[in-house]
Amino acid sequence: MFSWYREISAVERKTFWSCFGGWGIDALATQMFSLAIPALIVALSLSKAQAGMIGGATMVASALGGWIMGAISDRIGRVRALLFSIAWFAIFALPSMFAQDFQQLLVLRALQGFGFGGEWAAGAVLLAEVIRSNHRGKAMGMVQSAWAVGWGGSVVLYLVLDRLISPDMAWRVMFGVSFIPALLVVLYARTIPEPDSFARRKTVASASRFSELFSIFRPEVVRMTVIGALIGVGAHGGYYALMTWLPTFLKTERHLSVLSTGGYLGVIIIAFWFGCMASAHLLDRIGRRYTVVLFAACCVITVLGYVFLPLNNTAMLFLGFPLGFFAAGIPASLGALFNELYPSGMRGTGVGFCYNFGRIVSAVFPALVGLMSDRMTLGAAIGLDTALAYSLVVLAVLALPETRGKDLAHDAPVAAGAARTLGNVAE
């Protein structure tokens, strides 16, 4: 499974671990907030609506950060953008532990969110351009598994602090402690050289102005952008439609409490890790398109089983593994897929937009479940809405060419050959 790692160079390994660490920290900080919500409601006198607003503002800021920092990485370089994003997050991690009210925490978490999204976009492009093409899918899928590692780390840290100190202090320590690993990642990654494709493009086309936020809507690439955005919408929409309403469905219609148990959470986290690992190997074995289609179809089947089969607590616990497994496979595939759709001069912008546009628009799907549940059962609404989202993923990805094995290291500069590059992909 890991034999490919022995074949890559020292620079590739360092890039891999830098991105792995960055994404793990993102997950750590993101999941910390979810775990800390009950304590925050008491300590800062927050309403549930205010807690939701903080989470929503963080998500929107993260999406904007991904698009903007992706574009900036096309200007100043992948490594610089990655380091800037992680440092940005670290700078606002410390003040957040001293927040005294709703307004302060809202602003600080939103600023942190900008760094979350920026780190993913810059890191995804950096890793895609550094790792050799025959191992790109494996590397990017495995780096996505860092989310499970950070998620698990946040749960362990929460349990430890909850036992050692008061709840009011525990959430503050949790928010502040993420500064330390972020600083370590910055120090570790600061000597990574820029990918050859970026250095060559900067030399050949330094006067180019194609790497702007809206360059991805130019005629030669707009089709890729629209399809990529639809994939992002479906992938995130299916996930959020399920995860937003599944706890309510299980408690109100099935009268189950399995989601409140630590065992269920552990199963989901472990399954997510295994799903990323499986996707990583399938990406380089059967290709980008078939991997995404396979996981999307399995997501639909698993969700329909969740909402329509008569399951008890024990069965629901075991079915949690395939649910987490298949839900992980799609996001683990998007980094490799999106990177291979764009030429180097607009790659960061394109990757950042396609992934994060989906995160914002995906808010429609949970809302649609609520509207549909007025006319049918909640379970049926979840099943149909999720099936719609993942069907959108399948239809969109089948409209793309298979890009497995594309050489990003020798990509043509945008100023000289954006259209020619995309023509080669389509062939």
Residues 174 and 218 in one domain: no
Domain annotation covers residue 196: no
Residues 277 and 341 in one domain: yes
Q: What is the pLDDT of residue 232?
A: 92
Euclidean distance between CA atoms 158 and 164, whole angstroms: 10
Question: Do 183 and 284 fall into the same domain?
Answer: no
Residue 368 placed within a domain: yes
The angle subtended at Cα 119 by Cα 238 and Cα 167, nearest 5°, is: 75
Q: In which residue are the tokens 């550094």 written? A: 130
pLDDT value at position 226?
A: 94
| Residue 178 and residue 247 share a domain | no
Q: Are residues 115 and 235 in the same domain?
A: no
Contacts of 98 (CB under 8 A, 6+ apart): 172
Q: Is 109 contained in some domain?
A: yes
CA 377 to chain centroid: 30
Query: Which two tokens mark 378?
Result: 């909640």
- The pLDDT value recorded for residue 420 is 39
Query: For residue range 208-259, what is the model confidence (pLDDT) as tens digits?
Result: 444 467 889 988 889 999 999 999 999 988 888 887 777 677 777 777 665 5
Domain range for 14 is: 10-190
Per-residue pLDDT, 421: 37
Q: What is the pLDDT of residues 332-367, one digit of tens each?
A: 899 899 999 988 888 999 999 999 888 888 878 888
| Per-residue pLDDT at 200 | 59
Domain count, the chain: 2
Domain-located, residue 403 = yes
Identify whether residues 257 and 159 lie together within a single domain.
Answer: no
Q: How much is the pLDDT for 422?
A: 37
Q: How far apart are CA 352 and CA 121, in angstroms?
A: 5
Query: Is there a contact between 335 and 22 (Cβ–Cβ < 8 Å)?
Result: no
Residues 77 and 174 in one domain: yes
- Give the separation between CA 225 and CA 71, rounded to whole angstroms: 14
Q: How far apart are CA 33 and CA 29, in angstroms?
A: 7
Q: Is residue 81, in this structure, part of any structural domain at all?
A: yes
In a domain, 350, yes or no: yes
Same domain, 239 and 368: yes
DSSP result, 352-417: HHHHHHHHHHTTHHHHHHHHHTTTS-HHHHHHHHHHHHHHHHHHHHHTSPP-TT---TTPPPHHHH
324 shares a domain with 246: yes
Reported pTM: 0.83
Nearest Cα to 18, choosing from 212, 228, 195, 232? 195
Q: Return left, alpha or beta for 287; rule: phi > 0 is left, psi -120 to 50 is alpha, else beta.
A: left
Cβ neighbourhood burial of 213 (10 Å; 0-12, 13-18, 19+): middle
209 contact partners, CB below 8 Å, separation of at least 6:
none
**Which residues of the chain are under the pLDDT cut of 70?**
1, 197-212, 247, 256-262, 409-427
Tell whether 172 and 239 lie within a shared domain.
no
In a domain, 208, yes or no: no
Which CATH number belongs to the domain containing residue 84 in this structure? Answer: 1.20.1250.20
Please tell me the distance from the alpha carbon of residue 138 to that of residue 128, in angstroms, as a whole number: 11
**What per-residue confidence (pLDDT) applies to 29?**
85
Instruction: Please tell me whether residues 246 and 165 are part of one structural domain.
Output: no
- Spatial separation of the C-alpha atoms in residues 334 and 393, rounded to whole Å: 11
Taking residue 162's Cβ as centre, other Cβ atoms within 10 Å add up to: 15
What residues have CB less than 8 Å from 10, skipping those under 6 apart? none
Residue 198 lies in a domain: no
- Residue 65: its H or E element: helix 48-76
Q: Contact at 8 Å (CB) between 397 and 291? A: no
Same-domain check for residues 123 and 32: yes
Question: Would you state the pLDDT for residue 261?
Answer: 59
